[in-house]
Structure 1
Amino acid sequence: MTPTLWRLLAGRTFAAFATALVPTTLTLAVVRAGSAGDLGLVLAAELVPMLLLLPVAGVFADRFPARRVVLCADLVRAAAQTAIGVLLLAGPVRIPVLAALAAVTGAAVAFGTPSARALVAAAVPGAERARANSRLMVAQGLAGVAGPAAAGGLMLAVGAGWSSLLTGALFTASALTLGGVRTGAVAGGAGRRPGFTAELRAGWAETRRHPWFLANVMAHGVWHLAAGLLLTLGPLIAVESLGGERAWVVVAQAGTAGMLAGAWAAGRLPVRRPLVWVAVACAVFAGALAAFGLRLPLPVAAGAYFLGMGGVGLLSPLWETEIQRRVPAEALGRVSSFDTLISFGARPLGLAVAAPLAAVTGTAAPLLVAAVVVAGVNLGLLGLREVRAVSGAEPVRESGPETSPTLR
């Protein structure tokens, strides 16, 4: 691998591991000191600013060099997590202060997310992006799996305060690593820029110019909602019908293995029509939803979840690469922000409605309906000509995101 890819891989892994530490540390810290209402307040305080600021963050990702935005976002997250660590070590947990710092973290996540995608597009040549995105997905997947376990171990060994301090140190390492990534030279940066609102409108106009993108984002939103249903109802079904708590552990481990296997394969398969693979891979998740809805035996449910998460692991690098290839680089941050907004918004909605729906209809109906909808919506994407297009057949400008924009 090139030094640039090593930097990207190390920096994104540091950030992914730190991000995975945050929810577990906050949850355990608040549960020990507060109530369920306090926990909801703190988690919402992080999520709401993230959702509200994503469109704004997309403009920043296109207006400023991606590495600088990522650097600043990671430094802000490092400062917020360090402050949380000091707060937790100093004495009793003060929920309002904790919520405020969680909100700062959520805002920084919003600004860092679209810029991280733009940074990969700026630093990695087009022909190498599929393999690079595959490696990034595997590394981040491993970090995401290890993070919660590490947070729990740190909580038991040294307490939540030290866990948050470690998180701050990891975000600092990510900032210093990604902030040094070499990208293309800035060209024409002295040109007159339109106002912020005009750039935001131009970003939405560019998003609407790509029907394949909007259709896929909505289909992925359906998947995220369905995944929220399964993550809530799946453990209940596993405990009741598949063999208890250990059954869900087996299922979760199978899903992790599948996701990593899919991400590893994404950069090695001879994929000529990436969006066809993306649509089919997303539709495969319907099997896991159906397996739990029908309460099939544990080996079948675990196997279906392995395949479903394998599809997710496969589609993620392919989807990243196609966005970076098809969307003009000077608008990539703004277009990407709408993708992230749908993803971040739909998953919590699925988590929130799962229990009320199950209380009315039982656990089977929501999952079986979700299975049909996920399969139908994603396979329906195959009807779009742009989805069936061969990779590389559509000319796209490869100017870096730090060049003078033509859409502004």
Structure 2
Amino acid sequence: MTSAAAPSHSRRPSWAGRNYTLLTAAAIATNLGSQGALIASAFAVLRAGGSGGDVGLVAAARTVPLVLFLLVGGALADRLPRHRVMVAANSLNFLSQGAFALLVLTGEPRLWQMMALTALGGVGQAFFGPASEGMLMSSVSGSEAGRAFAFYRMAMHGAGIGGAALGGALIAAFGPGWVLAIDAAAFAVAGALRAFLDVSHIPAREPGGGMVADLRDGWREFITRPWLWSIVVQFAVVNAVVAAAEAVYGPLVARDELGGPGPWGFALAAFGVGTVGGALLMTRWKPRRLLLAGTLCVFPLALPSAALAVPLPIVALTAVMFLTGVSIEVFGVSWMTCLHQEVPEDKLSRVSAYDWLGSIAMVPLATALTGPVESAVGRTSALWGCSALIVLLTAAVLFVPEVRRLTRRGATVAGAGPQASADAEGAVGRLG
């Protein structure tokens, strides 16, 4: 029995080993800070005299380096000890977010400064994301993997509830600078926790043909699975329009129609409550056709954009955000379970990098275009367009046979590989 999967001698369940516990604690710390920081960065731009288009540019500045460095981050995370990559990335996020906070607290930040510091945070995330996903998936094994992922996400999103609500209140009371400082401190705490992760159970990587060869191997793992690349293509558009609606148009609607950052933070917190509810549901429910159940639950992601387009009163918007959180969490747990079940352990970070890259590739363009699109067609029409795109792309994915048929196996084993994928498809049903 490896250290990652060793039974706990405490009251923890058998699947919650040392690594899993450290990863969960670190995720709680970062989500407490990051949810408030998302709101704080938008209002820092607005309070510095920026426009909605400027908010979009700052959001895009984070995503551009994320897109540029993700594949490199995935390849490195499959070569180097993943916890070292994670700690280095957390350190960069701590420094960049701390500088952003200091800039806001001590004077009038300029747009280019906020964009540059946000871009550094995107570089950190590019290296952190694939390493983190690979590390989490290698920390659990057996038929309870889905439950472990659900509890992890429940803890992560639960922290986000408090972070969003507290962040909105602190911005209203003290300004965005202090919320950005809290986020920087959270990265420092999370990095310290991740430094204690044990990677001795992960087999040493065989010497390969270099970075290009590693990326080519990861691409083969990615492109040979239609369920995987089709859903990533779907989310390339879905994530882009959701980012435009919630990172840019949401704060603007909140400022103009809902009463400012406090109500918007409350609505985002309701989404967090919904994700906790969805994760709790997934600790009990194990849908056989994983990807079919998950994809059907993406349709409600169109509701927040529609609610902002109306716009609905804050109480109704909060209800919509809650329902959306429940639904998308069913997809999220199912997706992680599918990756864990189907992708070999030594390629997890590279496949995750392609997943991340495809899923966010269009976000910089979408967020940068929010201002021009609003000027051309109006904010309301832009938000209705976001909803329509989500519905159309999600419906299209259901035409992929593997999405409808991929099936959960009785016992999920990390590093299953191509043959396991073929067996799963033959059995019927699969969840992303």
TM-score bracket for this pair, using the shorter chain length? 0.7 to 0.9
Cα deviation for residue 287 of structure 1 reads 5.2
Cα deviation for residue 116 of structure 1 reads 0.8
The root-mean-square deviation of aligned C-alpha atoms, in Å, is 3.8
Say which of 30, 52, 56 aligns to 1:15.
30
CA contact (8 A) 2:343 2:415 kept: no
Distance 1:370 1:52 in 2: 25
Equivalence for 1:403: none
- Counterpart AA for 1:214: W
Unaligned residue ranges in structure 2 (runs of 5+): 1-11, 418-432
Cα deviation for residue 150 of structure 1 reads 3.7
Equivalent pairs: percent with the same residue?
A: 28
Equivalence for 1:124: 140
List per-residue Cα deviations over 1:110-146 (Å, max 9, x = no partner).
1001111101111111423212222222222233343
Evaluate the alpha carbon distance shift between residue 125 and residue 32 of structure 1 in structure 2; reply closer, same or farther with a 3 A threshold: same
Cα deviation for residue 265 of structure 1 reads 1.1
Distance 1:288 1:136 in 2: 25
Equivalence for 1:220: 235
Say which of 407, 419, 424 aligns to 1:390.
407
1:202 corresponds to 2:221:
no
Equivalence for 2:299: 283
Evaluate the alpha carbon distance shift between residue 321 and residue 226 of structure 1 in structure 2; reply closer, same or farther with a 3 A threshold: same
Cα deviation for residue 172 of structure 1 reads 1.7
Distance 1:295 1:89 in 2: 33
Could you say what secondary structure the match of 2:358 adopts? helix
Distance 1:289 1:39 in 2: 18
List per-residue Cα deviations over 1:167-207 (Å, max 9, x = no partner).
33221211121222334524344x43211122122222221
Distance 2:80 2:186 in 1: 24
Evaluate the alpha carbon distance shift between residue 14 and residue 300 of structure 1 in structure 2; reply closer, same or farther with a 3 A threshold: closer
Cα deviation for residue 215 of structure 1 reads 0.7
Distance 2:330 2:315 in 1: 22
User: How do 1:68-217 and structure 2 match up within 5 A?
Assistant: 68-85=84-101, 93=109, 99-151=115-167, 154=170, 163-189=179-205, 191-217=206-232
Say which of 347, 351, 376 aligns to 1:335.
351
Range with greater deviation from structure 2 (77-86 or 300-309): 300-309
1:65 corresponds to 2:89:
no
Evaluate the alpha carbon distance shift between residue 329 and residue 282 of structure 1 in structure 2; reply closer, same or farther with a 3 A threshold: same
List per-residue Cα deviations over 1:242-269 (Å, max 9, x = no partner).
x855997786565443333222212221
Distance 1:150 1:56 in 2: 35
What TM-score, normalized to structure 1? 0.80
Evaluate the alpha carbon distance shift between residue 384 and residue 47 of structure 1 in structure 2; reply closer, same or farther with a 3 A threshold: closer
Equivalence for 2:9: none
CA contact (8 A) 1:126 1:325 kept: no
Equivalence for 2:6: none
Distance 2:243 2:41 in 1: 20
Cα deviation for residue 77 of structure 1 reads 1.6
Equivalence for 2:282: 266
Equivalence for 1:321: 337
CA contact (8 A) 2:82 2:131 kept: yes
Distance 1:157 1:370 in 2: 32
Distance 1:372 1:178 in 2: 41
Aligned residues: 397
Cα deviation for residue 27 of structure 1 reads 4.3
- Counterpart AA for 2:240: L
- Counterpart AA for 2:229: L
Unaligned residue ranges in structure 1 (runs of 5+): 401-408
CA contact (8 A) 1:42 1:102 kept: yes
- Counterpart AA for 1:127: S
List per-residue Cα deviations over 1:136-167 (Å, max 9, x = no partner).
22222233343344445555766666544433
- Counterpart AA for 1:172: A
Distance 1:223 1:90 in 2: 37
Cα deviation for residue 235 of structure 1 reads 7.6
What TM-score, normalized to structure 2? 0.76
Distance 1:362 1:330 in 2: 48
- Counterpart AA for 1:218: V
CA contact (8 A) 1:123 1:181 kept: no
Cα deviation for residue 364 of structure 1 reads 6.2
